[in-house]
Amino acid sequence: MSFTVAIDGPAAAGKGTISKAVAAHFGLAHLDTGLLYRAVGRRTLDGTDPVEAARSLTAEELEQGDLRTAEIAQAASKVAVIPEVRAALVDFQRSFALRAGGAVLDGRDIGTVICPEAEVKLFVTASPEVRAERRYLELADKGADVTRAQVLADVRERDARDAERSTAPMKPADDAVLLDTSDLSIEAALEKAIAVIQGKL
């Protein structure tokens, strides 16, 4: 029997960290679906057609090089508005979700479009300022040459593009549990997420 945990939310809300940790805690496989869009976005930087890139994407590409740069994040959110790009990535995500032993998928449209039947749905949010500060510290730690103001502007731009697109916009599923991490430590947020999942097992 499959057991799917869908975790959605905007950038730097903590969903990546929470997803990885709950997957480890419950012994589930984990897929960060943002990596799919990032890998497609990276390919478009050298002029490749995004739909072509999405249709020919391989699992190995998700592990090649650093996909977590600000430039690739912007490229990802641009290709993510294209319905044919999203359609080309559906099967891979759904088969991952249905694998034996269960899975955690995190992204923007997992609970609404990819896995509407997921046993658990979480929507992890935090204020744009808190998210921008977290992302800034992450990027600065990697030695990136960015300012707080730039990161906040980037976060707001990406939020708007993700929430306002017509195909699979970022939004909580009607039956999602909301988890606002603005005033929570990682440990406290994780504890809450684990409690929600435990309640559905």
CB atoms within 10 A of CB 84: 14
Contacts of 94 (CB under 8 A, 6+ apart): 114, 115
The Cα 96–Cα 131 span in angstroms is: 28
CB atoms within 10 A of CB 28: 19
Whole-number Å distance between alpha carbons of 9 and 7: 7
CA atoms within 13 A of residue 44's CA, in its CB half-sphere: 24
92 near ligand C5P, judged by CB under 6 A? no
* Closest-CA residue to 80 (of 40, 128, 135): 40
User: Does 11 count as an annotated binding residue?
Assistant: yes
Interacting residue with ligand C5P among 5, 76, 179, 193 (CB under 6 A)? 76
- The residue count for binding ligand C5P (CB under 6 A) is 15
Binding of ligand C5P at residue 3 (CB under 6 A)?
no
The reply on whether position 42 binds ligand C5P by CB under 6 A is no
Backbone Cα Rg of the chain = 16
Does residue number 158 form part of the binding site for ligand C5P (CB under 6 A)? yes
Annotated binding-site residue? 12: yes
Q: Does 47 count as an annotated binding residue?
A: no
Candidates 4, 17, 33, 181: give the one binding ligand C5P (CB under 6 A).
33
108 binds ligand C5P (CB under 6 A): yes
| Residue 4 labeled ligand binder | no
Indicate the residue among 15 and 192 with the shorter CB distance to ligand C5P.
15
Q: Is 115 in the site for ligand C5P (CB under 6 A)?
A: no
Interface residues with ligand C5P (CB under 6 A)?
11, 33-34, 37-38, 73, 76-77, 80, 107-110, 158, 162
